[in-house]
Structure 1
Amino acid sequence: MPPPTGFPTVTPAIIIKLNVTNANPHGIIHTGSTFTHFDCPSGTIESTEGFSPAFKAKVNFGADWCTFDADKEHGRLNLKVVARTDEGASISLDYNGVIRMDEAAWKVFTMQPDAKTMAFGAATGSCRFVVGDEKLKALENNVFAGNGRIIVGENGLVAESRLCQIVPSTDMD
């Protein structure tokens, strides 16, 4: 039997880099999850070479309302960001994802001094954009998914996500 058809493909589209400045732990909440709010007040959102619409934007607000499952195996990312392009257009995005937690990830998320950069592969998510500028409307009218990592540097943490545009299949099986 031939493999099924009709699956979408992906096109590299956008790279998000957010500076994580503070962790605000809240403790265990009503769901049994542990809730921590992370401030991400600056960073960049930029389209990849060849992607349309092309843009570069600076983040002027960002935060992650992150929860960690009671079994400590996964984290749930709930990121909201507002940015402005070099041309002055506003971009809002909501990113929801899941991260597989291990000892190395816990060190990063609890901002331990011996934390190390996390490689791609532990976190995946999807992103939804809201824009007003007509030149950027394609961001609202497409679906984006990707993966992320956290870079541990001398100046703190950088949360990086690389998003692909989901391209619908035109197969007729």
Structure 2
Amino acid sequence: MAEFPSLQPAFTVQVNIDAPFHVGSASRSNSLQVVPMTGGTLKSAPGFSPAIDAEFVGVGNDYIHADPDGKHLRLNAHGVIKTKDDALIYVNYTGVVTMGPAEQAVFGGTAGDGATPFGNSFTHFTFETGDERYKELENRVFAGQGRFVVEKGKSLVVEYRVGQVTKG
């Protein structure tokens, strides 16, 4: 057995986001931005169990604090997905985005069509549900890496490729 864990491909998450609300902060040196999640999907990788095919429902938000130096964003997103077989699952992910040139262009509104590369955004996903078919998700650890997908005339999409942490 290896001393370090491995990742088993689990699912791809695509979240449509809207323009942020710049809330600010009187007590922190880094101000709060609230980014509305307006839709999206969560779909299992081939062979992952339990198989999930779901859409985000209702209103979700990503609460983002930028580091004072502007080099990193701290994410804390909350939303609910509804599976094709009518289960409701609460999704939370936290993470860090390193603000490279591609990410700066996205947040500055100057990015052209296309996707930023994977490798500057990493997340940890957790789940909560009352549906026994998906309850085991609550007992697993998931890590993902993300990117932004820009397409003129459409909502900005954040895409995460997520793996389940397993013994090495």
8 Å CA contact 2:100–2:120 kept in 1: the answer is no
Question: Could you tell me which residue of structure 1 aligns to residue 111 of structure 2?
Answer: 115
- After superposition, give the CA deviation of every residue in 1:103-145 in whole Å (9 maximum; x if it has no partner): 43123124x1x21432101001101111111111221110000
8 Å CA contact 1:29–1:35 kept in 2: the answer is no
Supply the distance in 2 between the matched residues of 1:34 and 1:101 (Cα, whole angstroms).
Answer: 16
Measured at CA, do residues 67 and 100 of structure 1 come closer, stay the same or move farther in structure 2, by a change above 3 Å?
A: same
Question: Could you tell me which residue of structure 1 aligns to residue 164 of structure 2?
Answer: 165
How many pairs are equivalent?
164
- After superposition, give the CA deviation of every residue in 1:43-95 in whole Å (9 maximum; x if it has no partner): 10111110000011110132100110001110001111101001110011110
Scaled by the length of structure 2, the TM-score of the pair is 0.91
The percent of aligned pairs where both chains have the same amino acid is: 35
Deviation, 1:29, is 4.6
8 Å CA contact 2:8–2:163 kept in 1: the answer is yes
Deviation, 1:28, is 4.8
Question: Could you tell me which residue of structure 2 aligns to residue 30 of structure 1?
Answer: 27
- After superposition, give the CA deviation of every residue in 1:23-46 in whole Å (9 maximum; x if it has no partner): 111235522113211111211011
Paired AA for residue 4 in structure 2: F
8 Å CA contact 2:143–2:162 kept in 1: the answer is yes
Question: Could you tell me which residue of structure 2 aligns to residue 6 of structure 1?
Answer: 3
List structure 1 runs of 4+ shifted beyond 6 angstroms: none
Alignment of 1:1-173 (within 5 A): 5-60=2-57, 61-110=59-108, 112=109, 114-116=110-112, 117-154=115-152, 155-169=154-168
The answer for unaligned runs of 5 or more in structure 2 is none
Paired AA for residue 155 in structure 2: G
Paired AA for residue 24 in structure 1: F
8 Å CA contact 1:78–1:94 kept in 2: the answer is yes
Scaled by the length of structure 1, the TM-score of the pair is 0.88
Supply the distance in 1 between the matched residues of 2:67 and 2:157 (Cα, whole angstroms).
Answer: 23
User: CA RMSD, aligned part only?
Assistant: 1.6
Supply the distance in 1 between the matched residues of 2:26 and 2:40 (Cα, whole angstroms).
Answer: 29
